[in-house]
Amino acid sequence: MISRSEIWETNQMIEKENLDVRTITMGISLLDCMDSDLTVMCREIHDKIVRLAGKLVETGDEIGREYGIPVVNKRISVTPIGIIGSAACKTEDDFVTIAKVLDDVAKEVGVNFIGGFSAVVAKGMTKSDELLMRSIPKALSQTERVCSSVNVGSTKTGINMDAVRLMGEMICETAKLTKDADSIGCAKLVVFCNAPDDNPFMAGAFHGITEAEAVINVGVSGPGVVKKALESARGKDFEVLCETIKRTAFKITRVGQLVAKRASELLQVPFGIVDLSLAPTPAVGDSVAEILQEIGLEYPGAPGTTAALALLNDQVKKGGVMASSYVGGLSGAFIPVSEDQGMIDAVNAGCLTLEKLEAMTCVCSVGLDMIAIPGDTTPATISGIIADETAIGMINQKTTAVRLIPVVGKTVGEQAEFGGLLGYAPIMPVNRFSCEAFVARKGRIPAPIHSFKN
Amino acid sequence: MKKAIITVVGKDRVGIIARVCTYLSESGINILDISQTIVGGFFNMMMVVDVADAKTDFDGIANGLSEVGKSIDCVIRIQLEDIFDMMHRI
């Protein structure tokens, strides 16, 4: 029998510590919508998404009411459009047309984001992939809910430097086309290394080709719960600290598992994975930075930050894997700057720099996320940053990502405002020395030696 | 059987249990267990109930209880038991 204190603890987590189910994401394969006629294909895409996800939002809300826990976002991810559009799309504008269809269907079924305007080009680009990548600036500036991602490298294949170079240009172009809204288009664009096929979190979600027809992936979150639990471990040794994080991660993930199972049952779509990420929001008390502070740092960025984050990330995984048999996606601690008040404070205090963030990405779950940089940063510099981050992922066999926002017309000392879940961000300085000649080289960086495991 | 947990929190006054129980009885919800305490003048009750034969759907019960809560200055929640089981039991 459940005790009163256990009920109190659960409800305290939900009411006071921002425990929520961050997203129920339905992955939908669009492979069977492919057609050489663009109009026919767009109709097929629309019909299939509406048929499968028509009740997604309603179901998510129903589950939230049954268990008394907020299900914050309901989202859709689709097969990378670089593949789906390969027969029909002859121009960049053809891809923009698909993006608009995705945007319209997202609005029709009521989801706040739809991911999968993506290309997987870790080793090379098809003509279609390249067209899609070149269409990203227009697509993101003419749509509201479409998210785009490009996988430019992997441990198995190395780094496609031609794609890295192109993405540096496309990020700058996207920033220009959305300059009226502080270059917000770039907040919906992620460049990956080792991108997972089943990530439920935006902006990087897509439904990989290894996936089934349709699948339900759930992302839970609860940095506030971990922070609160750690208050009881102040001054205690590392064993107690780790134990506390693991226990909390277990409890959070169990909720995700429950919700995922229930959503799968109600929607009659198979359950895929639970992503046990600690994903912050701009809300007070919903911050990964505050956990790092509770562990003992004045601000994230101080010496010891990488070690503290490594510990946190690892304990979250250890606690979480026991709670669900199918853990996947990104699973770990997210360290976006704009979406985490504690990170913003650390930047404003002069404690957190881009270089330290890069070090932190070696041990966290993703990468350089939601970082506003000066609008006059060159495409080559952005490509250089992407290459660095991709190399970290490739060598360490982990997912890394870059979501940089060169805010047109703004520079260090100013602030970019994105609003809502995306928050706001102080513009961070970028190393001004050139990497033009390095980025200009054609071809790819070979796969590392430890990729040869056959 | 479909078990749910009802929690009632508010300032103590006459008739809280009576009002909640009347609503449950009228809605066809069976009470399996009640535990109640008062801490610092605050009434705190937890009930385990069976909603399998309830006359309305879960949303209806939740809204009904919430209304009852407003009339007696209490916050009343109902949640399916699974969330507590999942979180606190291996």
What confidence tens digit (pLDDT) does each residue in B47-84 have?
Answer: 999 999 999 999 999 999 999 999 999 999 999 999 99
The answer, yes or no, to whether residue A169 has pLDDT greater than 90, is yes
Please judge whether B83 and A255 are an interchain contact, meaning their C-beta atoms are less than 8 angstroms apart.
yes
The mean predicted confidence, pLDDT, of chain B is: 93
Give CA–CA dist A239/A206, Å, rounded.
Answer: 38
Pick the CATH number of A222-270+277-447 from 3.30.70.870, 3.20.10.10, 3.90.25.10, 3.20.70.20: 3.20.70.20
At residue B40, the pLDDT reads 82
Mean pLDDT, to the nearest integer, of A184-191? 96
Work out the average pLDDT over A57-75: 94
**Cβ B33–A1 below 8 Å, yes or no?**
yes
ipTM at complex level: 0.87
**A108-157, pLDDT tens digit by residue?**
999 999 999 999 999 999 999 999 999 999 999 999 999 999 999 999 99
CB A295 within 8 A of CB A311: yes
Is the predicted pLDDT of residue A454 greater than 90, yes or no?
no
- Does the beta-carbon distance from A1 to B48 stay under 8 Å? yes
Domain count, chain B: 1
> Do the beta carbons of residue A137 and residue A170 sit within 8 Å?
yes
Closest CA to A329 of A401, A420, A386, A387: A401
pLDDT above 80 for A396: yes
pLDDT value of residue A47: 97
Average pLDDT of chain A is: 94
Minimal-distance CA residue of chain B relative to A320: B87
**A18 class by beta-carbon count within 10 Å (0-12 exposed, 13-18 middle, 19+ buried):** buried
> Does residue B36 sit at the A interface (CB-CB below 8 Å)?
no
Is B79 within 8 Å of chain A by CB? yes
Return the pLDDT at B41: 83
Name which of A2, A65, A322 is nearest B81 (Cβ-Cβ): A2
What mean pLDDT is predicted for residues A168-196? 96
pLDDT attached to residue A453:
83
What pLDDT is attached to residue A107?
97
Q: How many contacts, defined by CB atoms under 8 Å, are there between A and B?
A: 54
Residue A10 with chain B: CB contacts under 8 Å: 83-84, 87-88
Question: At which residue do the structure tokens 């992955």 appear?
Answer: A27
Can you give the pLDDT at residue A325?
Answer: 87
Per-residue pLDDT at A331: 86
> A67, B79: Cβ pair inside 8 Å?
yes
Q: Using the predicted structure, report yes or no on whether residue A332 has a pLDDT greater than 90.
A: no
Q: In this model, does residue A420 exceed pLDDT 80? A: no
Confidence of residue B10 (pLDDT cuts 50, 70, 90): very high
Model confidence band, residue A214 (pLDDT cutoffs 50, 70, 90): very high
Q: Specify the CATH number for A20-193; select among 3.40.50.10680, 3.40.50.2000, 3.20.70.20, 3.40.605.10.
A: 3.20.70.20
Q: What is the CATH number of the domain that holds B68?
A: 3.30.70.260
Specify which residues B75 forms β-bridges with: B9
In degrees to the nearest 10, what's the CA dihedral of A274, A280, A282, A286? 100
* A121 touches A163 (CB < 8 A): yes
DSSP A178-220: TGGGTTGGGGGEEEEES--TT--SSSS----TTS-SEEEEEEE
Both tokens assigned to A142: 């003419």
The dihedral through the CA atoms of A356, A185, A29, A153 has a sign that is: negative
Range of the domain at B19: 3-88
Per-residue pLDDT of A333-365, as tens digits, reads: 899 999 899 999 999 999 999 999 999 999 998
The DSSP code for A429 is: P
Nearest CA in chain A to B78: A68
pLDDT band at B90 (very low <50, low <70, confident <90, very high): confident
Strands A113-120 and A71-78: parallel
On the question of pLDDT at A329 being above 90, the answer is no
Contact A66 B58 (CB under 8 A): yes
Give pLDDT, residue A209. 93
Looking at residues A416-437, what average pLDDT do you find?
Answer: 91
Reply yes or no on whether the pLDDT at A452 is more than 80.
yes
Strand order in the sheet with B74-80: B30-39, B42-50, B3-11, B74-80
Domain borders along chain A are 20-193, 222-270+277-447
Selecting from B35, B58, B87 the residue whose C-beta is nearest the C-beta of A255 gives B87
**What pLDDT, on the 0 to 100 scale, is given for residue A74?**
96
Q: Are A44 and A312 in contact (CB under 8 A)?
A: no
Same topology between domain A20-193 and domain A222-270+277-447: yes
| Distance of alpha carbon A157 from alpha carbon A383, whole angstroms | 18
What's the average model confidence in pLDDT over B11-35?
93
**Candidate from A4, A10, A62 with C-beta closest to B83:** A10
Cβ distance of A10 and B87 shorter than 8 Å: yes
